[in-house]
Amino acid sequence: MTTVTTAPPFADAPRPRAWASGLGEFAAVGGLTPFLYPLSWILRKAFDLEPTEYIISFAMFAAAFVINDPHFAVTYFLFYKNIRARAFGNEFSATQKIRYWLAGFVAPVGLIAWGISALVLRSAYSMGLMIQLMFFLVGWHYVKQGFGVFSVLSARRGVRFDKAERWAILGHCYAGWMYAWATPRDIGHTSSEKGIWYVTLPHPRGLDQVATVLFLATIPPLVWVFVSKWKRDGRLPILTPLTALLCSVWPWLIFSNADPLLLYMIPALHSIQYLYFVWLLEGNKAREREGPPHFERSATSRLLGLAVSALALGWFFFHIGPEIFDTLIGSRLAKGELDPIGPTPCFAALFAFVNIHHYCMDAVIWRRENPETRYLQVQRNRPA
């Protein structure tokens, strides 16, 4: 999710259930995270790390079928709906239309060509570069989503930030991303992802120190923004928006390795945060359109259809599809020889493709230039 500044809520649309403005929203956007640290400590003390880590990793693997995988898949339904109006019509402005073409057509064609060439050439090096690009961009994706969630939730509470304040907050997010990626310094090491063995690109000397200094330098402006906001307006979006922002930057990214059990849960927490906003966007839109003058099918059936579709597409992306491709294509390309690119190269290529393309599409869907983001502001009660 990227930066969003939405229009004022429309007056006549049906409202979401009240729980979404309170404890449920807090938990969905990251509020569970602080409570998972003591829970992890209790589990490790009671059952030791190794058996507990095995159980948690297995549970998160199973949860990915209904949380992580659909969170990737649903992006395709959000992005490519109304494709003709968005790509050729008047639904998007000229600038947003360029973004839509780049994310929706240029990026996937380039990524597909990259993956196919790596498969045909049996190049673990080329595939490794694609995987490293995925890992580099995932931090950008996390902090942009955190900032977008913070912006929307603050606006829903009547708290807005001027341009300088927004850049101070966003600067901290970006610096946190670079700090997490650059430290500790990587001098180049052998790594494996989805069966692909590759050597990482070494970081330039001094990059970790520069990233550390820049990150620390963004903390005082961040504190200044909130202190000055409190002095000027007398209140802050303290609880839910700040929790969403800080969890996305600090425990989910910078200190993701701080707890051995929470490390397995972070992708699910990030995905729940994302799916909650999909529910807000699509749910509010569906509730508006089930009444006059549209009289379309019920919001429940629309949301259920979207959920089932996302589950099915996620299953294909990360389970059925890779198995089919690696069985029918990967083995043939290897020609019966020892495969230098590993046993599941198609899985690695598809995994990297879906992740990177997801980041690109998100940078378009959740911008304020998308007129549908107005649905994110609809609410019944003032949340906490």
187 CA to centre of own chain:
28
pLDDT score of 8: 37
pLDDT higher than 80, residue 198:
yes
pLDDT at 231: 82
Mean pLDDT of 127-138: 97
Residues 239, 249, 169, 151, Cα dihedral to 10°: -50
- d(CA 136, CA 181) in angstroms, rounded, equals 7
Mean pLDDT, residues 196-218:
96
8 Å CB contact between 213 and 236: no
| Each residue's pLDDT tens digit, 309-340 | 999 999 999 999 999 998 887 555 555 555 67
Burial class (CB in 10 A: 0-12, 13-18, 19+), 289: middle
**pTM score, two decimals?**
0.91
Torsion of CA 177, 147, 356, 66, to 10 degrees: 120
Query: Which of 58, 14, 78, 8 has the alpha carbon at shortest distance from 362?
Result: 78
Residues contacting residue 194 through CB under 8 Å, at least 6 positions apart:
131, 342, 344, 347, 348, 351
pLDDT at 12 (0 to 100): 41
- The distance between the two most distant Cα atoms of the chain, rounded to a whole number of Å, is 71
Which residue spans within the chain are E strands per DSSP?
A: 190-193, 196-199
Bond prior to 251 in cis (omega within 30° of 0): no
255-293 residue pLDDT tens: 999 999 999 999 999 999 999 999 999 999 999 988 888
